[in-house]
Amino acid sequence: MNASFIMPNNSATVGMASSNDLRYNPWLHRFALLTAACCFLLLFIGGLVTSHQAGLSVPDWPTSYGWNMFTFPMKDWIGNIFYEHTHRLFASFVGLLILVQAFLLQRYETRSWVKRLGWLALGGVILQGILGGMTVLLYLPPAVSSAHAGLGQAVFCLSLAIAMVTGKRWEETSTKIIEPSRFGVRMLSLITVIVIFTQLIVGAWMRHTFSGLAIPTFPLAPNGGLVPDFTSFGTVINFLHTRVGAFLVTLLTFTTARIVFRYHSKNRRLAVATLLAMFLLGVQITLGAITIWTQKAVTPTTLHVSCGAAILGTMTYIMILSWHVYAAHDAGKVTTTAAIAGAKA
Amino acid sequence: MSTRFLAAISLLLVLCACSHKDSANSQVGMAIDSTNGGTISGTVILEGPCPAPQTFLCGDNVGCDRASVTAQHWIVNNGKVANAFIYIKDGLDNKKYTIPTSPALLDQRHCVYKPHVMGLILGQPLEVLNSDSTLHNVHLTSASVGESFNRIFPQGMAPMSSHFETPGIKTIKCDVHGWMNCYIGVVPHPFFAVSDSTGHFEIKGVPPGDYTLELWHESTTGSDNAVVETKKISVKAKETQRADFSITAR
Ligand SMILES: [Cu+2]
């Protein structure tokens, strides 16, 4: 629905709508989508490096066995070097994409805050590259490796946000808001994103301290109860991720979903994203259980990392969309019962 | 920051660097008394069933020149355990012994370390070789902060020299070939041995006295959590004392 159609008498809104039409640049949006997709793929490759314990198979950085990274001969991409080296190469490619994206936004984007998002993503990816190098040179300290995992997720979410706001449908916020609590879906999705992100950091910390099997059974602990004997730090962090975190994320996702379906079911994008989040959550818990049952087999473990990123991305999408719906609503751009009543009067 | 503070810091750094060098060069000490010393000899026995050996496929690692590698975690023949590191833990009263100037050799051959377990006297040079036509990384992990390293070792590179300044069990692994690992027991004296394929070990030239003897095996650390008890032993001149160890695998 077009904003000018809703509010034909509001000249300011009409002006905004026409600038929106000028604003939408299909190639810029497609480029942002490609960047976000590549960020996601990079998280998967990074997950493979850790699953194969390949992080130190190339001891030097930014060089590779003394070679320039881009000229390191393919015949030497042997064993675990294959994972580490392709991660470095693909990361360089993603860094290039984000750099180009920042310049494209600077040149073709009209909204200054979107330009700033582009530069922020560039800063994030540069810091991410440095963290990656640091963790190699410092022999993978859990804090640096976990920070590298967390920042990777954050840059992915930022790329996703850029892809969203450069989209053609960004201005189409036609939901009639009937939610009684004005902060319901917004606060819930925000809290859920924070909790999921924390859960990913705890998961990374568990992974990089080799505590993934500190509680070797699931769903029950080896003592047959729900709570294991906390004999080590690994057991504690494992419990926080595999039990406490998993429960909190499930609870929050379903609470968010309840509000979305109750009050925002007419917003198709919000509803579909919520369904996707719930579906991914089911897949994620299954993958997590399989990871434990197979004693961290590479495929389920790495898919579990990627699915976690997908859930974070989906919930970020829900969060941004719900805040946007309300922001647009507050700016008087969408039909509400009050607005219609006001127009009729 | 004041110049005086910077000067003080740099002076401190220089002093640290100098003292570091001094400790590395002190190689004078007592020689092993092979005529009057006693001998400690024994066998390492595995209590309970032998864990199944793990096999790794070398896959596309053509430079390894082999199809698969059997893990050296448990090398057990007729219940006798190889690759156990036995050493005198207590009783030598911090006497200083001569440190050999000839290096101990650690080879990377067919993507396996030779030997899998070795002992070194604190300060003794270690020389790492690469006999393979493929590259490895040499990733040393030590409990002592600053001693760990991770270095590249491409094929054809000159041997790599190193030495240790702290005692303890050091781990070397190759992260390219995930199965490649080995252990170096570093002790401040020459009274140690590694059990052979028949589980036998012998420590010679031990000065007469009372000692605590300890055994380390790959299974005593990490997830196996195997248990070995330390032994009190009395060594007499020119005599052989038996000290058999048993490892209880869990
Ligand atoms: Cu290797």
At A52-68, the pLDDT tens digits run 999 999 999 999 999 99
Give the whole-number percent of chain B exceeding pLDDT 90: 61
Of A342, A334, A309, A329, the C-alpha closest to A40 is A309
Q: Kindly report, residue by residue over A277-304, the tens digit of the pLDDT.
A: 999 999 999 999 999 999 999 999 999 9
- The ranges assigned to domains in chain B are 35-248
Q: What is the DSSP letter of B178?
A: T
Q: Is the pLDDT of residue B24 over 60?
A: no
Q: Is the pLDDT of residue A145 over 80?
A: yes
Tell me if chain A has a CB within 8 Å of the CB of B222.
Answer: no
What is the C-alpha to C-alpha distance for residues A214 and A202, in angstroms, rounded to an integer?
14
Q: Can you give the pLDDT at residue A15?
A: 37
Q: Kindly report, residue by residue over A27-48, the tens digit of the pLDDT.
A: 999 999 999 999 999 999 999 9
Residue B117 distance to chain A (closest CA, Å): 22
Q: Can you give the pLDDT at residue A9?
A: 37
Residues of A in contact with B152 (CB under 8 A): 58-60, 65-66
Q: Can you give the pLDDT at residue B145?
A: 79
pTM over 0.90: no
Q: Can you give the pLDDT at residue B21?
A: 39
Of A153, A122, A148, A149, the C-alpha closest to A133 is A148
Question: Other CB atoms closer than 10 Å to residue B42's CB: what's the count?
Answer: 23
Of A225, A214, A224, the C-alpha closest to A292 is A214
Greater model confidence, A336 or A44: A44
Q: To the nearest 10°, report the CA torsion of A280, A282, A284, A286.
A: -150
Residues of B in contact with A81 (CB under 8 A): 176
Q: Can you give the pLDDT at residue A331?
A: 75
Q: What is the DSSP letter of A156?
A: H
Q: Is the pLDDT of residue B2 over 60?
A: no
Q: Kindly report, residue by residue over B101-157, the tens digit of the pLDDT.
A: 899 999 999 999 999 999 999 999 999 999 999 999 999 999 887 899 999 999 999
Give the whole-number percent of chain A exceeding pLDDT 90: 79
Which residues, listed in sequence order, are joined to residue B207 by a DSSP beta bridge?
A: none
Q: Is the pLDDT of residue A181 over 90?
A: no
Residue pointed to by tokens 């906390």: A230
Tell me if chain A has a CB within 8 Å of the CB of B151.
Answer: yes
What is the C-alpha to C-alpha distance for residues B68 and B57, in angstroms, rounded to an integer?
4
What is the C-alpha to C-alpha distance for residues A33 and A36, in angstroms, rounded to an integer?
5
| Residues shown for chain A | 345
* Distance set, CA A130 to CA A36, A124, A134, A202, B150 (Å): 20, 10, 6, 22, 18
Contacts of residue A79, defined as CB under 8 A and 6 or more positions apart, other chains included, come to: A54, A57, B60, B61, B176, B177, B178
List the structure tokens of A159: 């790329």
Tell me if chain B has a CB within 8 Å of the CB of A295.
Answer: no
What is the C-alpha to C-alpha distance for residues A57 and B153, in angstroms, rounded to an integer?
11
Tell me if chain A has a CB within 8 Å of the CB of B110.
Answer: no
Residue pointed to by tokens 């089911």: A282
Residue B66 distance to chain A (closest CA, Å): 14
Residues of B in contact with A57 (CB under 8 A): 137, 175-176
Q: Kindly report, residue by residue over B185-194, the tens digit of the pLDDT.
A: 999 999 999 9
Biggest distance spanned by C-alpha atoms of chain A? 77
Min mean pLDDT across A20-24, B11-15, B195-199 is at: B11-15
Q: In what order do the strands lie in the sheet with B112-114?
A: B112-114, B104-109, B126-130, B160-162
Which range has highest mean pLDDT (A235-239, B26-30, B36-40, B162-166)? A235-239
Residue A101 distance to chain B (closest CA, Å): 35
Coil/strand/helix, residue B169:
strand
Q: Can you give the pLDDT at residue B32?
A: 78
Residue B175 distance to chain A (closest CA, Å): 4
Coil/strand/helix, residue B120:
strand
Fold topology of A19-172:
Four Helix Bundle (Hemerythrin (Met), subunit A) (1.20.120)
Q: Is the pLDDT of residue B25 over 50?
A: no
Element holding B23 (H helix, E strand): helix B3-25
Distance B222 CA to ligand 1 centre (A): 22
Q: Can you give the pLDDT at residue A183?
A: 65
Distance A65 CA to ligand 1 centre (A): 13
Distance B137 CA to ligand 1 centre (A): 6
Distance A220 CA to ligand 1 centre (A): 39
B-chain residue closest to A65, CA distance: B152
A76/B135 CB distance under 8 A: yes
Distance B173 CA to ligand 1 centre (A): 8
Residues of A in contact with B146 (CB under 8 A): none
CB B41 within 8 A of CB B201: yes
- Residue B196 half-sphere exposure, CB side, CA atoms within 13 Å? 7
List the structure tokens of B200: 């036998």
B150/A56 CB distance under 8 A: yes
Helix/strand/coil percentages in chain A, nearest 5: 75, 0, 25
CB-closest option in B141, B152, B177 to A79: B177
Q: Which amino acid is at B220?
A: T
Fold topology of B35-248:
Immunoglobulin-like (2.60.40)
Give the whole-number percent of chain B exceeding pLDDT 70: 87
B-chain residue closest to A216, CA distance: B223
* Distance set, CA B238 to CA A306, B91, B208, B233 (Å): 66, 18, 9, 15
Number of residue pairs across A and B with CB atoms under 8 Å? 48
Question: Is the bond into A300 cis (omega within 30 degrees of 0)?
Answer: no
Most B CBs within 10 A among A78, A83, A213, hence the mutation to make, goes to A78
